[in-house]
Amino acid sequence: MSCWLCCLLVVSLCLPVDAIGQDGTDKPKSGEKEVKKPADDAAIEQVKGYIAAQTKAGKINKKVPTWKTRLPKFPDVKFTPSKNYSWNLKTNKGNISIKLLPKTAPKHCANFLYLTELGFFDSLKFHRVITGFMAQGGCPLGNGTGNPGFRFSGEYDSNVRHTKGGLLSMANAGQGTDGSQFFITFKATPWLDGKHTIFGEVTEGMETVRALENSGSPRGTPREPLSIEKAWITVN
């Protein structure tokens, strides 16, 4: 099997599509702050309203231990064209800020606004980190086989390609299986174009991305625990 095909398979989730379930920390560097998301952004307020309604209806119940695998699908979100939306991660290796690309992948960006507002990513780990390739996380089960309870199709733009490191892209087990698992590239990965949706780009914290890579391995098993301590959205 050629090297590029092995890498492609590694990004995909571990189990076949029909087998996917439905249902000593380093502190941030000096000067890094968690900026709270503004309460007056229309997209954020829309997501918060949807979560409140779904919670009231009993479809979201965070008291259930497995709530991260039993979520209803994200709502359609109207992003403000003049604003920039960033997905921020506080990891045990430092902070990362990623500019989302709602014009390119509005559904994927809406999904991450929704999951982040729920606190879905908090305390999840990077379960697969392949040196020279990518860091993968976002699995609610922590082993690469889980999803949030829903799946959806990819969004592809021929002008947005896996041309460099620091790109946020969606992991999947084939067409129509995007959920919550994502990966951040360490270098250009052109063989993934048209198969994995790019929906963000690192704007701050590439040193943290490199720290994640340095704790990875050729086979993907991290050499030490790598986790997301907190995720949040900023808008400006």
Average pLDDT over residues 172-181: 98
Average pLDDT over residues 144-170: 98
Q: Is there a catalytic annotation at residue 136?
A: yes
Q: Is there a catalytic annotation at residue 112?
A: no
Query: Residues 79, 121, 126, 133: which is the catalytic one?
Result: 133
The confidence score (pLDDT) of residue 128 equals: 99
Q: Is there a catalytic annotation at residue 151?
A: no
Q: Is the model more confident about 15 or about 177?
A: 177
pLDDT bin (cut points 50, 70, 90) of residue 18 is very low
Residue labelled with tokens 């896996």: 162
Reported as a single tens digit per residue, the pLDDT across 188-223 is 999 999 999 999 999 999 999 999 999 999 999 999
Query: Residues 172, 181, 186, 199: which is the catalytic one?
Result: 172
Percent of the chain's residues with pLDDT above 90? 83
Q: Is there a catalytic annotation at residue 113?
A: no
pLDDT bin (cut points 50, 70, 90) of residue 24 is very low
Nearest-angstrom CA–CA distance, 111 and 77: 9
Say yes or no to pLDDT of 29 above 60.
Answer: no
Query: Residues 89, 192, 212, 226: which is the catalytic one?
Result: 192
Nearest-angstrom CA–CA distance, 113 and 49: 12
Q: Quick count: other Cβ atoms within 10 Å of Cβ 70? A: 17
Residue 133 neighbours by CB under 8 Å, 6+ apart: 7, 10, 185, 186, 187, 189
Reported as a single tens digit per residue, the pLDDT across 104-116 is 999 999 999 999 9
Query: Residues 196, 199, 212, 226: which is the catalytic one?
Result: 196
pTM of this prediction?
Answer: 0.84
What is the residue extent of each domain of the chain?
33-60+69-235
Average pLDDT over residues 167-178: 98
Q: Is there a catalytic annotation at residue 147?
A: no
The continuous run of DSSP H or E covering 129 comes out as: strand 126-130
Phi-psi region of 19 (alpha: psi -120 to 50; beta: other; left: phi over 0): alpha
pLDDT bin (cut points 50, 70, 90) of residue 26 is very low
The confidence score (pLDDT) of residue 3 equals: 43
Query: Residues 182, 183, 186, 199: which is the catalytic one?
Result: 183
- Give, in words, the CATH class of 33-60+69-235: mainly beta
Q: Is there a catalytic annotation at residue 118?
A: no
With 0-12 CB in 10 A as exposed, 13-18 as middle and 19+ as buried, what is 177?
Answer: buried
The confidence score (pLDDT) of residue 21 equals: 29
Query: Residues 108, 127, 128, 162: which is the catalytic one?
Result: 128
pLDDT bin (cut points 50, 70, 90) of residue 124 is very high
Nearest-angstrom CA–CA distance, 226 and 61: 27
Q: What is the average pLDDT value for the chain, to the nearest integer?
A: 89
Nearest-angstrom CA–CA distance, 138 and 168: 12
Q: Is there a catalytic annotation at residue 192?
A: yes
Say yes or no to pLDDT of 25 above 90.
Answer: no
Among 236, 190, 221, 226, which residue's Cα sits nearest to residue 97? 236
Average pLDDT over residues 123-138: 99
